[in-house]
């Protein structure tokens, strides 16, 4: 509310030419919005938007999967960060498409809503926050009578989520191990996971605290209960510890 009042005050003291320009901009945007279902007949725009979304996703992936990022990633958040980068690249492309096609006022609205959600909505991961902003843009497109933008963005995002979430990331935190057997236990757990098709992304051993952490990916989503049963069945009981699981 304070920010809104500040904007009103600034506009009230702005020169008449500036105020008139803002009025003209609002009127212009109101005239170009609201294509409705006829927007689906604009094949050229839809094709161009699809290519723009694809380009933004590919370029975002190039930065997200930079070799230096991959080499330094050793926490669950850092390993999953590329998904966030790519999602926000797609969101930025959607905002850009709507601003170029329908005017700056739409861009202000989109950025305002995105910022409000990003800093006022508490979710367990940045990936979920990105999804919330994405579906908000889809809903806003529907509200602005732009169903073709909403449908295209939904279809593209649906496929992208399938690609990004094709593999599930787990964190296995094993503690309360015999001090002298921490390295052996870590090697045994790692070998077991790799033998069952998992890819270990990070391994941290802390013998002094009698614990280690493994972050790994599975080609298919596996329930924690199944992973626990796999450990109970194949790991030497002398190497058992207290296992805490986390799934992204």
Q: What residues does each domain of the chain span?
A: 33-164, 168-247
In three-state secondary structure terms, 178 is coil
Per-residue model confidence (pLDDT) at position 150: 92
Match 């996971």 to its residue by tokens.
193
Strand residue runs (E) in 164-221? 168-175, 199-206, 211-218
CATH 3.40.50.970 fits 168-247, yes or no: no
Report CA Rg, the chain: 25
With contact defined as beta carbons under 8 Å apart, do 138 and 150 qualify? yes
User: Counting Cβ atoms within 10 Å, is residue 107 exposed (0-12), middle (13-18) or buried (19+)?
Assistant: middle
- Let me know: does 239 contact 188? Beta carbons within 8 Å: yes
How many residues are there in the chain?
Answer: 248
How would you write the pLDDT of the chain (248 residues) with one tens digit per residue? 444 443 444 444 444 444 444 445 444 444 445 678 888 888 999 999 999 999 999 999 999 988 877 667 767 788 888 998 999 999 889 888 888 877 766 666 666 666 656 555 555 677 787 888 888 888 888 887 889 999 999 999 999 998 888 888 888 889 888 888 888 889 999 999 988 888 898 888 888 888 899 999 887 777 888 888 888 888 888 787 888 888 86
Tell me, what's the pLDDT at 120? 58
| Sequence-ordered alpha helix ranges (H) in the chain | 2-13, 16-32, 43-64, 67-72, 76-102, 104-120, 126-143, 147-164, 182-195, 224-234
Query: What does the DSSP assignment read for 43-102?
Result: HHHHHHHHHHHHHHHHHHHHHHT-HHHHHH--SHHHHHHHHHHHHHHHHHHHHHHHHHHH
**Partner residues linked to 172 by β-bridges:** 214, 245
pLDDT of residue 124: 64
């Amino acid at each position: 509310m304070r920010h809104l009042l500040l904007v009103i005050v600034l506009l009230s003291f702005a020169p008449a030419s500036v105020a008139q320009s803002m009025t003209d901009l609002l009127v212009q945007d109101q005239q170009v919005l609201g294509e409705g279902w006829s927007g689906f007949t604009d094949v050229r725009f839809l094709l161009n938007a699809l290519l723009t979304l694809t380009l933004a996703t590919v370029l975002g992936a190039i930065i997200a999967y930079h070799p230096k990022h991959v080499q330094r990633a050793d926490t669950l958040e850092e390993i999953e960060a590329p998904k966030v980068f790519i999602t926000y690249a797609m969101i930025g492309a959607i905002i850009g498409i709507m601003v170029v096609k329908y005017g700056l006022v739409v861009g202000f609205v989109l950025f305002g809503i995105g910022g409000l959600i990003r800093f006022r909505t508490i979710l367990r991961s940045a990936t979920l926050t990105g999804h919330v902003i994405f579906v908000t843009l889809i809903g806003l497109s529907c509200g602005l009578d732009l169903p073709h933008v909403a449908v295209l963005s939904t279809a593209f995002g649906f496929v992208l989520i399938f690609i990004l979430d094709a593999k599930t990331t787990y964190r296995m935190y094993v503690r309360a191990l015999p001090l002298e057997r921490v390295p052996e236990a870590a090697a045994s757990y790692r070998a077991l996971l790799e033998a069952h098709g998992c890819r270990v992304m990070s391994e941290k051993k802390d013998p002094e605290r009698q614990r280690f952490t493994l972050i790994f990916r599975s080609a298919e989503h596996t329930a924690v209960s199944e992973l626990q049963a796999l450990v109970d069945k194949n790991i030497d009981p002398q190497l058992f510890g207290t296992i805490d699981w986390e799934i992204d």
